[in-house]
Structure 1
Amino acid sequence: MRPIMSHKRVLYGYWRSSATYRVRIALNLKHLAYEQHLIHLLNNGGEQHLPLFSSINPNELVPVLIDGEVTLNQSLAIMDYLDEVYPQFPLIPKDLKSRYLVKALAQDIAVDIHPLNNLRVLQYLADDVGIETEQKQRWIQHWITQGFHALEKNLASTAGAYSVGNSITLVDLCLVPQVYNAERFNVDVSTFPTIDRVVQALRSHPAFIDAAPENQPDAN
């Protein structure tokens, strides 16, 4: 299937941003072509703070998707939009129970786990609070591990081949980037067997491979 590009579609992001990573996977699964505008979150004091990007997203966070006349930030909102406008390869089930189960599990990752190891939180802890690198590592490991303990229990009852049954859903798009973050900070993901099994399966899918941080043009 050829990528769909009926109008200009641009994704502003950073190779290691897990929120951007989620959106890249969604675009790939739906075969939606897009241009990448690279925002380096560390260079020049953080390019997300420069006036050009700040005028697009005053929150100064990635990702931002421009799809024709639509401009959206927040990865969960972007993926919800993509699922509604481009229904091929649905990410959210149609039946009521499964729909909100998937949304809740995705938010367990994107709302509860991810923000506590986000770059601006870590920069504040280091620059303003003055914690050392080793303390910062323990902070990250603590919150990811605590979140994964709960998530593992949930997925043990919902998982089939993937996080919820045998179809890729929004949960999987949040899970793989969060495990990438966990591995960066030396969290032993093998202690969460359901999470580990599902992620290993997803990492063999072409849409996930193409979206992986190390395969992005700004990877360094």
Structure 2
Amino acid sequence: MLLWINGPFGGGKTQTAYELRRRLANSVVCDPEHVGFGLHRMMPPALRGDFQDLVAWRQGVFEVLDHVLGKHDGTVIAPMTVVEPLYFREIVGRLRACGHDVRHFALLAERETVLRRLRERGFGNVVRLVAGQDAPLRRESFAVSRLDLCLERLQAEEFAEQIWTDDLGVSAVAEHIAAAAGLTLAPDTEGELRGRLRRTWTGIKHIRFD
């Protein structure tokens, strides 16, 4: 089974994916962003646009997920924002057409909630520590520029199931996804402080500098 976790940038996809992996036996996270950043590293900076517009990215993500789903005896988790319907069909639609069990979830929240999360996530904290509390989140400018489009597109029926996360923590979102997919998570026995530290470390590990 593939759990595709969609949502706006800063919507909690990565944290949810790794919470699911932590509590779901024999699960693995396959992050489609890695394919995109690999393609970017092959090109001079002036040619680096949105890697999702590259046929190579869409084909590469499809092939990797198709391969993993065919070989891995467990749940595969893909956290990735995809809001172009054609691109979504080229990947998710083709995987379903090949017979794979793909469960899609769009993590949504009010605009103000997502903006707050962007300010609070790992990179934003690092920026404020170095440059001051009011430092602009330049790294998040792409996320902000795409926010309204993401929130609008992901409410379409094609991108169901939608989960509104404004009042839900990461653990609760993961439990909602697992229940909807018929999966059983291990109990969450982690304390609040330890969980917060682990999520902070997850965010830091996924800061992108390229």
TM-score by structure 1 length?
0.31
Return the TM-score normalized by structure 2: 0.32
Higher relative contact order (Cα pairs below 8 Å, separated by 6+ residues): 2
